[in-house]
Amino acid sequence: MNRQRIFTGSLWEPVVGYCRAIRIGNRIEVAGTTAMKDGEVVGVGNAYEQTKFILATIEKALNDLNATMLHVVRTRMFVTDISKWEEIGKAHGEFFKHIQPVATMVEVKALIDPRLLIEVEVEAIVD
């Protein structure tokens, strides 16, 4: 099958060997996405702002693969402080309130930068 890949130009993509998103047929997988822009953390200390930034980044990757947030069927959220679930949930709801994909949120010990509070990955199916 044909693979369409989206790259963000991140320093780490060629080093680690990954892309932001990949589409194979009608399935799209978006890699774990954090609130990083040009090597800097966006929304330091603010889980809501980080989540909004991440979901906007994911939305752009989906759009680049001829899909929208309406096609998302699953989100996975990895958070460093589960007590911030309401802030994260509020931002998630702003993007997915009417779409309602299945969602998972788990607390993890740490992300790649200690200022990052959340990482999100999604799966989408284009029907």
Q: What is the pTM of this model?
A: 0.95
Identify the pLDDT of residue 12. 81
Q: How far apart, in whole angstroms, are the C-alpha atoms of residue 22 and residue 30?
A: 7
* The total number of structural domains that make up the chain: 1
* Residue 61: strand, helix, or coil: helix
DSSP-assigned states of every residue in 34-54: -SEETTEESSTT-HHHHHHHH
Which CATH number does the domain housing residue 101 bear?
3.30.1330.40
Domain limits for position 98: 3-125
Full pLDDT tens readout for the chain, 127 residues: 799 999 988 888 899 999 999 999 999 999 999 999 988 999 999 999 999 999 999 999 999 999 999 999 999 999 999 999 999 999 999 999 999 999 999 999 999 999 999 999 999 999 8
Antiparallel, parallel or unpaired: β 27-33 and 118-125: antiparallel
Neighbours of 121 (CB within 10 A): 18
